[in-house]
Copies of this chain bind each other. A is one copy, B any other.
Amino acid sequence: MEYEQLKLNNQLCFRLYTAARLTVGAYHPYLDPLGITYPQYLVLLVLWEQDKQPVCDIAKWLMLDTNTVTPLLQRMEKSGLLQRTKGKTDTRQRIVSLTEKGSALREQAKHIPECLSASKD
């Protein structure tokens, strides 16, 4: 009884942590064919809504730090989804813009949300 609050399933955080992992996992069947990971999908969501943003803005949307986002963008650049160009007004910034390939994925991704909300079990 003294340690009741230390039981695993009494912990909201564990449930949250597990739910998030499993939910992200549920995207796999839809993201694998597109050749992207879930965090990469999130970056695309941001850029599809508004293209040509500096790294810090993308990080703000995703609530991540640049030390997570920078390597993520580098991998996406390597796989041809986006480009990172030096900012003109502020040369410290790197402006991230979608390539043709990155833009085109939007059409294929369009139905993913409803697929997931429809998936039972």
A residues sitting closer than 8 Å to B (CB atoms) are: 2-3, 5-8, 10-14, 16-24, 26-27, 38, 42, 45-46, 48-49, 61-63, 106, 109-110, 112-114, 116
Chain B residues within an 8 Å CB radius of A116: 13
Task: Please judge, given known A-B contacts A6-B109, A110-B3, whether A45 and B11 are in contact too, CB under 8 Å.
Answer: yes
What is the chain B residue whose CB lies nearest that of A20? B20
CB closest chain-B residue, reference A9 = B61
Q: Which residues of B contact A3 (CB under 8 A)?
A: 48, 106, 110
Protomer copies = 2
Given contacts A13-B27, A17-B20, contact A42 B109 (CB under 8 A): no
A57 CB to nearest chain B CB (Å): 12
Interface pair B22/A63, CB less than 8 Å apart: yes
Chain B residues with Cβ under 8 A from A45's Cβ?
A: 6-8, 11, 14
Known: A16-B19, A16-B20. A5 touches B63 (CB 8 A): no
**Quick one: given A13-B23, A16-B20, are A46 and B8 in contact (CB under 8 Å)?**
yes
